[in-house]
């Protein structure tokens, strides 16, 4: 009985190894975004209550935005690693306004978008091109008109677009 189980286990391992060997290598993504201790971020809520689901949804949208919009600033073969250490979304919830406002994010000059991040840009050979820490702030965010106007994260995404454009325009 032990022999049959051992042979079965060996055949299973061989089959798994062959499947892994036959699988094509996954390409290394051009942009990798990591959020460090997201549960401690200043404000990544999708409503007045902080929830894991809401936080993950908001951070997922920001990550997708950085990956898709950042790619156009990279030269072929370059890789960008972004580590986000804090997020404070534009606007804030003002529950004292009453029950009808507890899920509405109010945008005012006193609630600008903020993101703290670290980045590392390497070329195709893995050689460091640039790196640094940035504290992004957009104090004049209400003076802009980012599109689409229906996107609740439009001001935050526009701030990230401005950073990508300014930081990497010379790199591509």
Q: Check if the beta carbon of residue 121 is closer than 8 Å to that of residue 167.
A: no
Note the pLDDT of residue 141.
92
The tens place of each residue's pLDDT in the chain, 172 residues long, gives 444 545 444 444 444 455 444 445 656 679 999 999 999 999 887 654 566 788 899 999 999 999 999 999 999 999 999 999 999 999 888 877 777 766 778 889 999 999 999 999 999 999 999 999 999 999 999 998 888 888 999 999 999 999 999 999 854 4
123-163 pLDDT tens trace: 999 999 999 999 999 999 999 888 888 899 999 999 999 99
pTM for this prediction: 0.78
Q: Characterize 137-147 residue by residue with b for buried, 16 or more Cβ atoms within 10 angstroms of its Cβ, and e for exposed.
A: ebeebeeeebe
Written as six digits, the tokens of 25 are 């290598």
What the chain holds in terms of domains, given with CATH numbers, is 27-168 (3.40.50)
3-state secondary structure of 123: coil
Written as six digits, the tokens of 75 are 């030269």
């Amino acid at each position: 009985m032990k022999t049959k189980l051992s042979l079965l286990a060996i055949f299973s391992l061989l089959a798994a190894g062959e499947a892994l060997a036959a699988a094509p290598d996954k390409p290394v993504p051009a942009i990798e975004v990591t959020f460090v201790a997201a549960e401690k971020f200043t404000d990544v809520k999708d409503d007045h209550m902080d929830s894991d689901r809401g936080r993950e949804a908001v951070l997922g949208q920001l990550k997708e935005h950085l990956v898709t919009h950042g790619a156009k600033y990279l030269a072929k073969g370059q890789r960008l690693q972004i580590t986000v250490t804090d997020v404070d979304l534009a606007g804030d919830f003002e529950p004292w306004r009453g029950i009808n406002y507890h899920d509405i994010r109010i945008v005012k000059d006193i609630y600008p978008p903020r993101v703290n991040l670290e980045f590392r840009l390497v070329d195709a050979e893995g050689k460091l091109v640039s790196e640094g820490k940035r504290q992004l702030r957009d104090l004049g965010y209400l003076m802009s008109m980012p599109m689409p106007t229906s996107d609740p994260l439009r001001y935050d995404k526009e701030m990230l677009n401005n950073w990508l454009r300014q930081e990497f325009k010379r790199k591509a």
